[in-house]
Structures are given as C-alpha cells and as structure tokens.
Structure 1
Amino acid sequence: MQKLLPPRLFLLTIGLMLGLRWLWPIGLLVPTPFNWLGLLIGVAGLAVAISSARHFRQIGTNIITFGQPDRLVISGWFCWSRNPMYLGFSLSLLGIALLLGAAISNLVLVVAFVIIVDRWYIAFEERAMLANFGEQYTAYQAQTRRWI
C-alpha cells in the first residue's frame, strides 16, 4: 500500500465516483441546482490541500507520506488541523459527491477514503512523528485536533 500515495488514492476515488455515478446512479440525494454547492466545497477543500502542500515546500520539509519526517510543521493550516492536506482532500471528495448528486455509492466512497486515510496514512505518520519529535509532537497533538 506504500505505493498508493494519498494523492493517487484521491484521484482513484474521484475516478471511482465518476464511474459509479455513470454506471450505477442510484440514491441521488441532492437535486439540481442544490448539487452546485458541491463545487464550492470541492474547490475550498482542494485549496486547503494545495496551500498546505505549498507550505511544506516553502518550509523545506518532506511531504512524502512514507518518508522520514524532518520538521514538525505547526504553522499555517497546521494550527487548526494536524492533517489539513487530508482534510482538504476529504472535503474536495465530499464536494464532488455533492456535485454528482450525492449518490449513496459516492458518499460511501468518501467515507471509505476518510477511514483509509485515518487508519493507514495518518496512523503511520503519527507513529513516525512521535518517534522523531517525542514530547514536542505529543504537545502538538494535545493542542491541535487530528482533523478539525
């Protein structure tokens, strides 16, 4: 699973959502024009994810999920969430699901994405951060929520 980095999982989930919407459009919960609210949520989520990644690059720290963490970033979006990139991806997927009419199958995919991210990627990253930064990371965990 280490080959399936979060951005790839994000894109794979979008592809599955589009495919399911086209092949199996059951349980549409949000009619037009209300589904267009999903565009706003999706773009906002993508903006959070991209600006958080840009913040990592500006600071000069490792952004690769399974790489060795070299800095503890607690500024920018990381003041409010320990995982703003994952939060942004999740919001963006929710927005896409709404834009597609919030088919039940697409909402299940959004939930599956969040569970995979939380249990696989974030769990791995938190163990690595704790190993590298110890008490400093523990204090950050106590001060800042995992998601929001």
Structure 2
Amino acid sequence: MPDLAETPNTIPWPPLLFAGATILALWLQHVVPLPWPGGAWAAVLAMAGVFLAAAGIALDLATMLAFRRHRTTVLPNRGATRLITDGPFRFSRNPIYVGNTLLVAGAGLAFGIAWLVPAALAAAFATRKLAIEREERHLALRFGQEWTTYAARTPRWLI
C-alpha cells in the first residue's frame, strides 16, 4: 500500500475502470443485446447521447487544462502538488470522472448500445470505491483545512 500522504494509489484505477466497463458493455451487447426503442424515441435518445458525450468530452478537456494551468498531475495514481478549486472544480470535486461517466453513458445513448449506460454507472461506483475515497484521504493529508473547506462546499459529483 502506498503512503497516502505521497500518492493516493499505485494503480491508475479510473481510466482502467471506464475502459474495462466499456469493453465489457460492448461484449455484452454482442452476446446478450438489450432491447432498444425504435423510431422517434431512438432519434431522441441518440440526440441526448450526443449532447451527453460532447458534454463529457468538454468537461474532460476543461479539467485537463485546469490540471495543466495549475501545474499538477492529471494522473490518478500520482500525488497532488496543488489543490485546484477553480474552473470545473468549482462544481465538482471529480469533474474528470463526471466527464468520463457522461461520455460512456452518452455513447450508449448515441449509438443505441444499452449496456453502456449501466456500465458507466458501474464504472463511476467502482471509481468512487477504488480511487476517489483514497484520493480524498490523500488530499486531506496534503492540504488539511484547505481541503476540508473545499470539500464541504463542493459536491463529490455534481449533487
């Protein structure tokens, strides 16, 4: 186990979890496809999916730019050198994970791959358990009261 004051994890869980969930969902859709509505509903879901996926990509990019602007790492298995509280971090303590969830779920709606929607939620839950909870302890050790104040006013996800 890594020293939490130095690094939250030795494994970069979030990208592995979201990629793994996506691959599993694509395999499940091939083996046990879930039903998908046709007609006008399919078009509405596809448009909503494109919007969600685009929002996820935009949020991921904005978050990566915030990491770069503050000269700290975007890698989830590296120790934070700065606490970012502006940009997308004003609305969520984990905007890149929100973006990843929106991207995967949105792709499911856009392409009619129903398994991607529960896969996105499962990846988000697993990310919370394997990464976020350790990241939050790491940030508390690194930034103390500054972290506590930020965490009290900013939701983990969006709500």
Q: Per-residue CA shift, 1:103-144, capped at 9, x if unaligned?
A: 2x3332122111111111110110100000111100001111
Equivalent residue number for residue 116 of structure 2: 106
After the TM superposition, list the runs of 4 or more consecutive aligned residues in structure 1 that deviate by more than 6 angstroms.
none
How far, CA to CA, are the matches of 2:110 and 2:28 in structure 1? 14
Structure 1 residue runs without a partner (length 5+): none
Equivalent residue number for residue 77 of structure 1: 88
Equivalent residue number for residue 9 of structure 1: 17
> Of 125, 135, 142, which aligns to 1:132?
142
Query: Given that residues 29 and 102 in structure 1 are in contact (C-alpha distance below 8 angstroms), is that contact kept between their aligned partners in structure 2?
Result: no
Query: Given that residues 41 and 95 in structure 1 are in contact (C-alpha distance below 8 angstroms), is that contact kept between their aligned partners in structure 2?
Result: yes
SS at match of 1:21: helix
- CA-atom RMSD, angstroms? 2.0
Query: Given that residues 101 and 123 in structure 2 are in contact (C-alpha distance below 8 angstroms), is that contact kept between their aligned partners in structure 1?
Result: yes
Query: Given that residues 49 and 110 in structure 2 are in contact (C-alpha distance below 8 angstroms), is that contact kept between their aligned partners in structure 1?
Result: yes
Query: Given that residues 17 and 126 in structure 2 are in contact (C-alpha distance below 8 angstroms), is that contact kept between their aligned partners in structure 1?
Result: no
Aligned residues: 147
> Of 38, 46, 68, which aligns to 2:49?
38
Stretch of structure 1 that moved more, 106-115 or 52-61: 106-115
SS at match of 1:33: helix
2:18 maps to amino acid:
F
Q: CA deviation at 1:100?
A: 3.4
Stretch of structure 1 that moved more, 114-123 or 8-17: 8-17
Q: Per-residue CA shift, 1:18-49, capped at 9, x if unaligned?
A: 22223221233574212312112111111101
Superposed, which structure 2 residues align to 1:14-29 within 5 Å?
14-28=22-36
Structure-2-length-normalised TM-score: 0.82
Superposed, which structure 2 residues align to 1:58-69 within 5 Å?
58-69=69-80
Structure-1-length-normalised TM-score: 0.88
Query: Given that residues 40 and 95 in structure 1 are in contact (C-alpha distance below 8 angstroms), is that contact kept between their aligned partners in structure 2?
Result: yes
Query: Given that residues 97 and 107 in structure 1 are in contact (C-alpha distance below 8 angstroms), is that contact kept between their aligned partners in structure 2?
Result: yes
1:86 aligned to 2:82?
A: no
Stretch of structure 1 that moved more, 29-38 or 69-78: 29-38
**Sequence identity of aligned pairs in percent?**
29
